[in-house]
Chains A and B, each alone.
Chain A
Amino acid sequence: MNENLNTQSDELLVKKVQDGDTNAYNVLVIKYQYKVAQIISKFVANNADINDIAQDAFIKAYKAINSFRGESSFYTWLYRIVVNAAKTFLESNSKHKNSIDVDSPEFQSIDEQGILASKDTPDRIIESQELHEVILKAMNDLPKELREAITLREIEGMSYDDMAIALKVPVGTVRSRIFRAREFIESRMAHLTSR
């Protein structure tokens, strides 16, 4: 059911990307970044490699976005790109295992003052185990109706309309409960995720 909801939203977002809306692609990346990382982690263990492959996959998907015709869900289409990117990385890595290219960009990080500089924006990495504990604790501390709402949405994948019927409340109440649950959990994880 979750897949069906996401399909409807994703197709709309993809259409917007195809019409030139890069913010729509930003939303798709935010939605699927962790799923993509999880897929890649089954191929490689190194976190930097996971990051590189994920970035490569999302860029390939962005470039090929106009070839997406909705014959499968966006996630299924993206999944194939991600798996191919991971396999290509593994093949390329095994061929160049013992070679080091001193002319590669990795070794050209000296700036004008001769100081070793970082080319990329530093990543903010958090341990998922710690995040898991914080979120589960927050879920336990939620009022029952808010916990019920966020569980039905995030784990069961129910639509707001279906939840309204199941909980015997208006759709507006469902919407409000989900938002308040998220707001509460966010406040508990702020120390881990804030900029």
Chain B
Amino acid sequence: MLDSKQTNWEEQSALFDSENVNVDKVELNDELKDHLNNWSLIGATLRDELPKQVNVSFADNLMAKIEQEKIKPEPRKVSFNFTFKKVAFAVSQFAIAASVAAVTIIGWQTFNADEKLGVDSTSTSLGSVNGVNLASYQTSQTQKGIKLNQHYSDIDSKNGIKMDEKEFRKQQALEVDRINNYIRGYVFTTASND
């Protein structure tokens, strides 16, 4: 039958293994410190964690020094710059995600767009350029970019805007450049806020 002293040491052994952590305050006396030190040595030896020479009075000397020199924990510092940078970074990440999402949505819409698209069918926020608008574009998985819909002849000529192939190719190149520059500028502007 276990005596109360053995039961107490068993509890301390379990506490050392973090198996009995419901204590309000850690109670330490010399006898318990010796046991904790020995249990720490046993574990360190079995896991091959010991240096060549072991100072078994290290912990005692350290805590004595902390007490003698009245060493205290420093209050936690809150850095404004650190907090601001964190917030700015989060905002820039959101902006980048939003711009990527916008391009994806537009690309998806054009991919699924009806063949006969009118000049005025684009999203109003982006508008059109000389009869060519983003709705005329479709994403290209193979070329990893945005390219003009090849069925340019289906562009609505309601407004009397027509163009020959040469002009159309020219407008195509200009529009792709504008979109790329816009995305590049937007992304780098928001990223530089870090």
Contact = CB atoms under 8 A, between A and B. Distances in A.
Interface of A is mostly: helix
20 contacts: A5-B17, A16-B25, A23-B25, A23-B26, A34-B50, A34-B51, A40-B51, A51-B58, A58-B62, A63-B72, A124-B56, A128-B52, A131-B45, A155-B46, A160-B14, A179-B9, A186-B35, A193-B34, A193-B37, A195-B34
Nearest to B39: A182
Nearest to B63: A26
A193 B10 contact: no
A55 B43 CA distance: 21
Top-4 shortest CB links A-B: A9-B18, A128-B50, A34-B44, A41-B51
Contacts, number: 196
A29 B34 CA distance: 13
B21 A59 contact: no
Interface of B: 6, 9-10, 13-14, 16-19, 21, 25-28, 30, 33-47, 49-67, 71-77
Interface size class of chain A, counting residues whose CB lies under 8 Å from the partner chain? 35 or more
Secondary structure dominating the interface of B: helix
A123 B17 contact: no
Contacts of B21: 8-9, 12
Contacts of B52: 41, 47, 127-129
A8 B46 contact: no
B61 A55 contact: yes
